Amino acid sequence: MPDHDNQQARDDTTQQHSVEALEIAIGKQVRTSRKRLNLTVAALAKQAQLSTGMLSKIENGQTSPSLATLTSLANALQVPVTSFFRGYEEQRDVTYIKAGEGLPIERRGSGAGHQYQLLGHTIGKPYNIEPYLITIDDQSEVFPVFQHAGTELIYMLEGRVIYRHANKTYTLGPGDTLFFDAEASHGPDEIQKLPCRYLSIIISESSAG
């Protein structure tokens, strides 16, 4: 199932990004605390009973230190262990996508004349938000029907489409919005004016939440 594979790949990427961000945040806090005490890497490593190589990796965000290691560092630096996580807790997600550079995504129905571009994704949240830019620039005999968890919002940018949700259809033109329960079957029913471009924003509960 392409949709399932794409979701799993996004979940794996999200988890990896979260781990890397935490490692970097811890490293920065350790380095800041060390410099505040005017300690060299060698001096702090000796006090915390670590090798200089290990401490260097921690400060550069290249490894995930154990709780025991963090406790030793905290004692040597005379700070609470929780201070090492301060930078991570203060981070805020941001994704910048230049025009035309969204990540192409293979979904059911994607292909010639029907493209999906992922414009961003949430990291380490109890929910998923997936904004897509969908472009249809070729007539098609049959359009895919979707059903998935969560809520979806469609905002029309260009063109005109008759969009089906469950047993009802809605004619959408530029500026029109459709907000619906995505567990009901939905999808384009008829394209009335090409090219057709719209934003699709899917919000669902995270499997990691």
Cβ atoms of 158 and 197 closer than 8 Å: yes
> What is the per-residue pLDDT across 88-116, written as a single tens digit (0 to 9) for each?
655 556 777 788 777 776 665 555 567 88
3 state SS for 59-97: HCCCCCCCHHHHHHHHHHHCCCHHHHHHHHHCCCCCCCC
pLDDT at residue 1, rounded to an integer: 46
What is the chain's mean pLDDT, rounded? Answer: 83
Per cent of the chain over pLDDT 70 is 79
CB 206 within 8 A of CB 149: no
| Segment 4-45, tens digit of pLDDT | 555 555 555 555 556 677 788 889 999 999 999 999 999 999
Q: Is the pLDDT of residue 72 over 80?
A: yes
pLDDT at 101: 74
Domains of the chain with CATH codes = 2-89 (1.10.260.40), 103-205 (2.60.120.10)
Kindly report, residue by residue over 116-136, the tens digit of the pLDDT: 888 887 766 788 888 999 998
Mean pLDDT of all residues in 64-74: 88
> Which whole-number Å values give the CA distances from 36 to 33, 44, 65, 140, in the listed order?
5, 12, 21, 65
The reported pLDDT for the residue numbered 8 is 54
Per-residue pLDDT band for 179 (boundaries 50, 70, 90) equals: very high
Residues contacting 13, CB < 8 A, separation 6+: none
Q: Give the model's confidence band at 199: pLDDT under 50 very low, under 70 low, under 90 confident, else very high.
A: very high
Read off the pLDDT of each residue in 137-145 and give the average, rounded to a whole number: 75
144 versus 36: the higher-pLDDT residue is 36
Rounded Cα distance, 185 and 126, in Å:
25
| % of the chain surpassing 90 pLDDT | 45
- What pLDDT shows up at residue 165? 97
How many Cβ atoms are within 10 Å of 51's Cβ, its own excluded? Answer: 12
pTM: 0.56
